Amino acid sequence: METECAEVIVSIMRAEVDRVFHYAVPDELKPVLTPGHRVAVPFGGRNVEGCVVGFSKPSVDPSRIKAITAVLDDYPLLTPVMLELARWMKTKYYTTLAACLRCVAPSWTGSAKRAKTLFVCINGGAGFAEELSHVNEKGGPQALVMKLLSERGATALAPLLKELGISASPVHTLVKKGLVILEERSSAGVSRSDIAYEPGRSFSLTDEQAEAIETLLNTQSEKPGRMWLLHGVTGSGKTEIYMRLIEKALEAGKQAVMLVPEISLTPQAVDAFKQRFGAVVSVTHSRLTPAERVAEWQAAREGRVSVMIGPRSAVFTPFNNLGTIIIDEEHEKTYVSETSPKYAVIDVAEKLSKLTGAAVVLGSATPSVETFYRAKCEEIGLITLKKRVNNRFPDVETADLRTELAAGNRSIFSRRLLDAMDENLKRGHQTILFMNRRGHSTFVSCRTCGFVLECGHCSVNYTYHIQSQRMLCHYCGAAERPPSLCPVCESVHIRYFGVGTQKIEEEVRRLFPGCSVLRMDMDTTARKDGHESIIRRFATGQAQILVGTQMIAKGLNFPNVSLVGIVDADTALNTGDFRSAETAFQLITQVSGRAGRADVPGRVIIQTYNPEHYSVSFAKEGDYNSFYEHEIRVRKTLGYPPFGDIFMALMSCPDEKRLINTQNELARLMKAYNRKGFFEILGPAPAMVSKINNMYRWKILIKSSAVGEDILLHFAFYCVDKLKNRCDLDGVNLNLTLNPRILV
Ligand code: ADP
Ligand code: ZN
Ligand code: ZN
């Protein structure tokens, strides 16, 4: 009788090899090998890593079957639940099983030999800014590396080189210049810090909190695996509810996962959890090295930790008896993966809860319209917290910039905001000024002929940065000295327009000499620990005013902040995607929530040219429900989610003509296969940013309201497959996204 063979998925991310391969199991491995085990197998003349997904009798000639070389771990890497989840993701997100296995298990490395990981990170120090501006001025690979590092922080070297398509030599030159360092990382976890945090005291719960917890716990015993929306205004004490739920899970011998947007993973928050639960808490984040990630992951797998806090990937923590999944700030866009598999973590959590019976709690002061719609339809439960724990709401006002202009005030600050800042300084309170654009001036233009200076590689305006005195392209990192003469009409009247965070910082210093100002944006946080050090300095009162981008909008809790100024609420309204009203409402509400967190009453001033816009006016009133009612009608009228779906096929290519031909062919196929007329096919058309880094960008949108997202995805991928059969797509980048967060 022939024996069963192991079904192995090899860790190669290509569709052609995304199937089960059979391998014989050597006798000595038979007693230990189970599905989920990582193994080394011979494949195409070399040894590769694979994952056992099952056992069966192969249909091919047994003599042609090769044997497993080795089992790589003492226990199966993947739990049966995670294997099942990976299978589900493959179908749901139209990708390979290998890609899904890699997503659910971090140590699935793609090679049986595990190399040491070299990281490159920004160095900083004296002369940094000047050296950086030289590099940016010259452009090229070195500038690209710096741009990428400033966005992502420390990054593994090998994938970085691959992504940018460059050799290691520019990086070594940057090391010589002192701009970056190479290091092998080892210490795990977010470092503890000396920031003052609320000690691990147990509060007596507010009535709303107590009721919420009771509801959650009762249904969990009656109806396991239910999903809940916890809609609680900022400062309503949602964190305490999360903690109690986690406590209950632990008492029942279960484990908990708490997802937080990366940006709010502050040492403040982490310390509070460590205080409460001690060593069973583990924290993961995107700056961990692969080795650190594996260590965290193994600790969970082996039962040494029971609470995992982290960004979206923490949902894949392989606990054996998961009791609770919490997704804080559920509306955040970082909860949707931008790389394949493009999963939405809420969907993954929902599937996990079906597989394990774990309760899922989505928390937010400003739930996404889609989630709130599900709660309204009673697809998921809804719990509302209307009161702030301290029972104080900030006093929110708008300052109409049209009136200011009419009164001859052309400065950045309205009279109202200026007076409030002045008063606040005198009282010794702190102020936060929010502006969602970095840099100094957002465009550089000729006053005589109106010419606006653009990046030569992208269809994007340059932003002027004052420290380096350079115009920077925020897309490709190109930098240039501003010209002294207009390149078109040779006029000398080159001027700087539009306000960024640097300009605000400059204005504050000018208006309030002697006042200490901190700025928090991508430019000041690029260096290691920049983020944390600014938070620490502000929290310990070393500055009176903090100017920042959306980095300061969330999660931070500064008791002494009693004034928040939203310098330009309108930037958020003009992002050009169907969620812009929602995003603006969320951002204004979140930023306002930074005011008056403790005993000091808070005041918020929203500067805008559109005080009547429903995002602004309902955010001002703190009225989520009215905002939602308005927005859901808009979505219904336009057939946008949750009433319909949009699929975007974005392509980029250095050859514009070839790009357009390819897009035309795809649109033709889509129209031809759209026999039942379920779909509306829009385009091809140039993307909003029609060129980045010398790559032209075009898009096709498919709208559907008649059928659900699964059928839409099936249709779209079917057409793309047909396109692949007909056209050579070599050199054409394809980016396929369902309900994109931004309509690029
Ligand atoms: P949210 O996440 O809803 O914005 P937080 O969880 O940050 O609100 O709570 C706001 C503040 O109230 C925190 O400083 C927290 O320590 C405090 N807090 C929460 N619950 C209570 C309570 N029952 N009694 C007193 N203070 C509380
Ligand atoms: Zn000119
Ligand atoms: Zn550019």
Q: Please tell me the distance from the alpha carbon of residue 155 to that of residue 254, in angstroms, as a whole number.
A: 34
Q: Is the CB of 239 under 6 A from ligand 1?
A: yes
Q: Is the CB of 582 under 6 A from ligand 1?
A: no
Q: pLDDT-based confidence at 105, cuts 50/70/90?
A: confident
**Å from CA of 494 to ligand 2 middle:** 8
**Å from CA of 327 to ligand 1 middle:** 17
Q: Give the rounded percent of residues in the chain with a pLDDT score beyond 90.
A: 57
445 versus 219: which is more confidently predicted? 445
Say which residue the tokens 């290091």 belong to: 183
Element (H, E) at 599: none
- The number of the ligand 1 atom at minimal distance from the alpha carbon of 209 is 23
Bridge partners of 364?
231
**Å from CA of 103 to ligand 2 middle:** 52
Please give the mean pLDDT across all residues of the chain.
88
Instruction: Tell me the pTM.
Output: 0.84
**Å from CA of 483 to ligand 2 middle:** 11
**Å from CA of 103 to ligand 3 middle:** 31
Q: Please tell me the distance from the alpha carbon of residue 658 to that of residue 664, in angstroms, as a whole number.
A: 10
Q: pLDDT-based confidence at 394, cuts 50/70/90?
A: confident
Q: Examine residue 261 and say whether the peptide bond preceding it is cis (omega within 30 degrees of 0).
A: no
Instruction: Give the mutation target among 389, 557, 586 for probing the ligand 1 site: most ligand atoms within 8 A of CB.
Output: 389
Q: Is the CB of 235 under 6 A from ligand 1?
A: yes
532 versus 489: which is more confidently predicted? 489
pLDDT in the model for residue 653: 96
- The number of the ligand 1 atom at minimal distance from the alpha carbon of 328 is 2
**Å from CA of 450 to ligand 2 middle:** 6
Q: pLDDT-based confidence at 199, cuts 50/70/90?
A: very low
Q: pLDDT-based confidence at 370, cuts 50/70/90?
A: very high
Please give the average per-residue pLDDT across 189-194, as a whole number. Answer: 34
pLDDT in the model for residue 419: 97
- The number of the ligand 1 atom at minimal distance from the alpha carbon of 598 is 14
Residue 7 predicted with pLDDT over 60: yes
Interval 693-734: pLDDT, tens: 999 999 999 999 888 889 999 999 999 999 999 998 999 999
pLDDT in the model for residue 112: 35
Instruction: Give the mutation target among 240, 242, 384, 597 for probing the ligand 1 site: most ligand atoms within 8 A of CB.
Output: 240
Residue 188 predicted with pLDDT over 50: no
- The tokens describing 314, both together, are 């923490």
Please give the average per-residue pLDDT across 358-375, as a whole number. Answer: 96
Q: Please tell me the distance from the alpha carbon of residue 535 to that of residue 277, in angstroms, as a whole number.
A: 24
Element (H, E) at 298: helix 290-301
Q: pLDDT-based confidence at 107, cuts 50/70/90?
A: low
Residue 314 predicted with pLDDT over 90: yes
**Å from CA of 457 to ligand 3 middle:** 5
What is the residue with the minimal CA distance to atom 1 of ligand 1?
235
- The number of the ligand 1 atom at minimal distance from the alpha carbon of 204 is 23
pLDDT in the model for residue 577: 79
Q: Is the CB of 232 under 6 A from ligand 1?
A: yes
Lowest mean pLDDT among 324-333, 386-395, 490-499, 695-704: 386-395
Interval 244-293: pLDDT, tens: 999 999 999 999 999 998 766 666 677 788 888 888 999 887 777 777 77
Bridge partners of 259?
310, 327
Q: Which ligand sits nearest to residue 556's alpha carbon?
A: 1
Q: Please tell me the distance from the alpha carbon of residue 667 to that of residue 677, in angstroms, as a whole number.
A: 14
Residue 5 predicted with pLDDT over 70: yes
> Does residue 688 contact residue 652 with C-beta atoms inside 8 Å?
no
Interval 561-619: pLDDT, tens: 999 999 999 887 877 778 889 999 999 998 888 887 667 778 999 999 999 999 999 99
